[in-house]
Amino acid sequence: MPMKAVVLAPGKEKSALRKHPWLFSGAIQKVMGSPESGDSVEVYANNGTFLGIAAYSPESQIRCRFWTFKEKAEINREFFSDVLDKAIESRRSRGFDINDTKSAFRLVNAENDGIPGCIIDKYADIYCAEILATGADKFRNDIFELLAEKTHCRGILERSDSDVRLKEGLPIRKEVAYGDVPKTPVEMIENGIKFDVDVWNGHKTGYYLDQRDARFEVGRYGKGKRVLNCFSYTGGFGLFALQNGASSVTEIDVSTDALNIARSLIQKNGFDSGKVILKEADVFTYLRSCRDSRETFDLIVLDPPKFIESKAHLNKGARGYKDINLLALKLLAPNGILATFSCSGLMEMDLFQKIVADAAVDANREVQIIKRFGQPADHPVKTTFPEGQYLKGLLLEAR
């Protein structure tokens, strides 16, 4: 065996043989060669069978994240060059072009694109990267240099400022990794609508690219509708409803800054601001006030933040999803449309659908599913990594 390796406990090789990218601490029997955080190690089954190369993370419960399976490749600059080339080509084949300086999409979707713990999003000519795991962090300079070379972008911002990094023993980092990244919002265009993305301070890497398809599809139902967009952030769903002729749009969010951006985007896109109410409020509280005043809407969007951070929070999170869907269903006018989402990875679609169905029964509404939503084509999910399918949604009609 090599100088740096891990040997699994008996029977713990099954997930690796199925090419699942994670190994948890309890699966490991022995560590050889004193690997440091982020080092590449060879992984062996208890019987000595070589399983692959992984990044080692001594402080995380996810102790190893695989780079390769059954292949003794060198994890170096050339390795990452090849991974980025494949990501660029796969996006191009799906209609996402790195040379389009106004578009926005995800170029690297972490484990699903071969760089565990690394997300790279494109906003116009700026790339925003989030690194959450030790292996990718060790090669961050190579990744950023290669990204700049291959995309000829204006700048790269590293937004590695999530608390998840602390579980890996990594420091919080937010800095320009290459070129020029403006402090002012970056303008990009999504399906004909202009958006300003605050890459420095916005949620995640600045925006929720994973809802692109849903925003466009839900917006198509907006014509002539009274629309309520809950957890609106900078108003994406509401803007597409306005694009399709909504009679009114109410945007609800707790963030003053997000609502200010939403206000500016209404003006930038030439929509009638007289049709829009921007309300800074807690969504649960606001929905209860609408229920008590018997206010109704024709189209309601529920796109809440993650309610479930761990398995210990599953039951509480499920109650939260039921409560909010119950409130929304009570506010829908006859034949109203509800677009409801969960971005909690631990909330599986079957369970989410059951929760919404239970809420419909309690609301005394007959509900039909019109469409199911998932992640768009720039957010691929490996079949061997079901955890990568975090986003799910339902488009419903309530009678």
Looking up residue 34, the CATH number of its domain turns out to be 2.30.130.10
175, 113 Cβ separation under 8 angstroms: no
DSSP annotation of 61 reads: S
Give the predicted TM-score (pTM) of the model: 0.94
β-bridge partners, 131:
118
The reported pLDDT for the residue numbered 345 is 84
pLDDT at site 315: 84
DSSP designation for 60 = S
Report DSSP letters for 29-49, one per residue.
Answer: EEEES-PPTT-EEEEE-TTS-
| Of the candidates 128, 133, 137, the residue with the CA atom closest to the CA atom of residue 108 | 128
Question: Would you give the DSSP letter of residue 70?
Answer: S
For residue 273, which phi and psi values (nearest 5 degrees)?
-65, -20
Same domain as 140, residue 50: no
Cβ-count burial of 122 within 10 angstroms (0-12 exposed, 13-18 middle, 19+ buried)? buried
Q: Do 252 and 231 touch, CB atoms closer than 8 A?
A: yes
Residue 157: phi and psi, rounded to 5, are -110, 130
pLDDT at 306: 86
Can you give the three-state secondary structure of 96-133, one letter per residue?
CCCCCCCCEEEEEEHHHHCCCCEEEEEECCEEEEEECC
Check residue 1 and give its pLDDT. 60
48 in a structural domain: yes
Residue 39's pLDDT is 97
Place of tokens 């309530």: 398
Residue 338 and residue 240 share a domain: yes
Asked if residue 174 and residue 26 are part of one domain, the reply reads no
Residue 351 φ then ψ, to 5°: -70, -40
| Backbone phi and psi for residue 205, each to the nearest 5 degrees, phi listed first | -95, 15
User: What CATH number should be reported for the domain holding residue 127?
Assistant: 3.30.750.80
Residue 200 within a domain: no
Helix (H, G, I), strand (E, B) or coil at 177: strand
Check: CB of residue 233 under 8 Å from CB of residue 162: no
Q: Pick from 48, 69, 90: which residue ends a domain?
A: 69
pLDDT in 10s for each residue of the chain, 399 residues: 667 999 999 999 999 999 999 999 999 999 999 999 999 999 999 999 999 999 999 999 999 999 999 888 999 999 999 999 999 999 999 999 999 999 999 999 999 999 999 999 999 999 999 999 999 999 999 999 999 999 999 999 999 999 999 989 999 999 999 999 999 999 999 999 999 999 999 999 999 999 999 999 999 999 999 999 999 999 999 999 999 999 999 999 999 999 999 999 999 999 999 999 999 999 999 999 999 999 999 999 999 988 887 788 788 888 999 999 999 999 999 999 999 999 988 889 999 999 999 999 999 999 999 999 999 999 999 999 999 999 999 999 999
The reply to whether 219 falls in a domain is yes
| DSSP β-bridge partners for residue 134 | none
Those residues with Cβ within 8 angstroms of residue 141's Cβ, 6 or more apart along the chain or in another chain: none
45 lies in some domain: yes
- Boundary of a domain, candidates 129, 152, 184: 184
Could you tell me if 270 and 348 lie in one domain? yes
216 lies in the same domain as 354: yes
Neighbouring C-alpha atoms within 13 Å toward the C-beta of 139: 25
Domain co-membership, 293 together with 274:
yes
Same domain, 298 and 383: yes
* CB-based contacts of 223, cutoff 8 Å, min separation 6: 244, 245, 246
Tokens of 94: 């799906």
Do 340 and 369 have their domain in common? yes
| Residue 194 covered by a domain | no
Same domain, 88 and 59: no
Domain end position, chosen among 69, 96, 112: 69
CB 16 within 8 A of CB 43: yes
189 is a domain residue: no
Residues 226 and 94 grouped into a single domain = no
pLDDT for position 310: 78
Q: Are residues 364 and 246 in the same domain?
A: yes
| Any domain includes 203 | no
Structural domain harbouring 175: 77-184
Residues 6+ apart with CB under 8 A from 374: 389, 391, 392, 393
In the numeric block, the tokens 């301070």 are attached to 201
Domain count, the chain: 3
3-state DSSP call for residue 385?
coil
Are residue 242 and residue 374 in the same domain, yes or no?
Answer: yes
Question: For residues 234-246, b (16+ Cβ closer than 10 Å) or e, as one string?
Answer: bbbbbbbbbbbeb
Report, as residue numbers or ranges, the catalytic residues.
Answer: 343
Residue 191 domain-assigned (yes or no): no
